[in-house]
Amino acid sequence: ICFVFISTAQCTRPSFTSRNVILTAEHLSTPSFPDGSTVTFECVIGHKPVDLKASKSVTCQGNQWTNLELNCARKSCGSLADFLNGRYEITGNLFGDTAKPVCDEGYMLAGRETTRTCRDQGWDGRDPLCEPVKCSAPPVIENGQLEDEPFESYDYSQAVSYRCNKGLDLIGQSTLHCSEDGTFKPDPPKCFDGCLAPTIPNAKRINGKSPPYKLGNFVQYKCEDGYKMTGEDYIVCTANGWDPEPPRCIGKTERIYFINA
């Protein structure tokens, strides 16, 4: 008995991903190809042939494919010109690159910021619109007011100044400017009415003024005979109150009880 084994030469589906190519649609679902088969490639989306004369086909010879000449590179979308009152910050002009719109100083984007992308058919989207920055009326502060009557809106970099009611200290910046994001900066000031007079039993003031206490006023204390001070004897009125906290004067019996506790 004679057995004859027939070997059919064939090639598996070819792939040349490093060249940015893909099989044409009619070959995509075929897992293998018999000897002598020819298949065709095309550039993946967003790419084009480096050499227009290069062959796009390969042939199965035995179980090997011939070399593919086609090689594809990213398409170019060309440059984007600056637009009115703005410009683009771009990562490049090839497929997949992006262009972020940036308005000139004193202008801001109208609507949502839209980053444009280089697509297969060119840049998507369109030039944005940059409008002059406008700030609405500045914030109102407690126990203070603007130096001048407010307007309904302010132009970029336009300034406003605050003052406090008589006898109050202004904490923070008195002048604010209309900033690039359409708000006044820095934060508005506060009007400070001073620090409450400390109540420290068994202590007497030895330095500093009497109430009322305004910003920057200081007081120095000394405990009466038979009492010992805990804390600092010298305190200053700040925007956050007394610094450090007012001291205490502890009597002998209170001190002994405190230690035993």
Instruction: Decide which of 26 and 260 is more confident.
Output: 26
Q: Please classify residue 215 by burial: count the beta carbons closer than 10 Å to its beta carbon, then call 0-12 exposed, 13-18 middle and 19+ buried.
A: middle
Convert the pLDDT of each residue in 94-153 to its tens digit: 999 999 999 999 999 988 778 999 999 999 999 899 999 999 999 999 999 999 988 999
Convert the pLDDT of each residue in 54-106 to its tens digit: 999 999 998 899 999 999 999 999 999 999 999 999 999 999 999 999 999 99
Whether 1 is in a domain gets the answer: no
Stretch 17-38: mean pLDDT, rounded? 89
Residues 13, 30 contacting (CB under 8 angstroms)? yes
- Is the pLDDT reported for residue 258 higher than 80? no
Whether 79 is in a domain gets the answer: no
Q: Which domain holds residue 91?
A: 86-132
Q: How many CB atoms lie within 10 A of CB 38?
A: 12
Question: Domain check: are 211 and 188 in the same one?
Answer: no
Question: Domain check: are 60 and 92 in the same one?
Answer: no
Distance between CA 210 and CA 224 in Å, rounded?
18
- Is the pLDDT reported for residue 261 higher than 50? no
- Is the pLDDT reported for residue 213 higher than 80? yes
User: What percentage of the chain has pLDDT greater than the value 70?
Assistant: 93
Question: Domain check: are 110 and 166 in the same one?
Answer: no
The per-residue pLDDT for 45 is: 96
Residues 94, 117 contacting (CB under 8 angstroms)? no
Under the banding of pLDDT at 50, 70 and 90, the label for residue 5 is very low
Residues 137, 158 contacting (CB under 8 angstroms)? no
Among the listed residues 257, 253, 259, 247, the one whose alpha carbon sits nearest the alpha carbon of residue 223 = 247
The per-residue pLDDT for 256 is: 43
Under the banding of pLDDT at 50, 70 and 90, the label for residue 7 is low
Under the banding of pLDDT at 50, 70 and 90, the label for residue 36 is very high
Whether 211 is in a domain gets the answer: yes
Helix boundaries (H) for the chain? 252-260
- The DSSP line for 43-81 is EPTTEEESSTTS--EEEEETTEEPPP---EEEPB-----
Distance between CA 180 and CA 161 in Å, rounded?
18
Whether 4 is in a domain gets the answer: no
Q: Across all residues in the chain, what is the average pLDDT?
A: 90
pTM tops 0.85, yes or no: no
Stretch 215-239: mean pLDDT, rounded? 93
Residue entry with tokens 């410009």: 87
Whether 5 is in a domain gets the answer: no
Q: Number of folded domains in the chain?
A: 4
Query: Is-cis flag, bond preceding 188, omega within 30?
Result: no
Whether 241 is in a domain gets the answer: yes
Stretch 165-184: mean pLDDT, rounded? 93
The per-residue pLDDT for 253 is: 65
Under the banding of pLDDT at 50, 70 and 90, the label for residue 255 is very low
Whether 170 is in a domain gets the answer: yes
Distance between CA 81 and CA 126 in Å, rounded?
11
**149 vs 153, 160, 161, 162, 165, CA distance in Å?**
12, 10, 10, 11, 16
Q: What are phi and psi of 256, to 5 degrees?
A: -65, -40
How far is residue 171 CA from its own chain's centroid?
29
Question: Domain check: are 111 and 148 in the same one?
Answer: no
User: What percentage of the chain has pLDDT greater than the value 90?
Assistant: 76
- Is the pLDDT reported for residue 156 higher than 80? yes
Stretch 196-214: mean pLDDT, rounded? 93
Distance between CA 235 and CA 227 in Å, rounded?
19
**131 vs 71, 88, 123, 173, 177, CA distance in Å?**
45, 16, 23, 28, 18
How far is residue 1 CA from its own chain's centroid?
83
Whether 181 is in a domain gets the answer: yes
Q: What is the CATH number of the domain that holds 255?
A: 2.10.70.10
Instruction: Decide which of 17 and 13 is more confident.
Output: 13
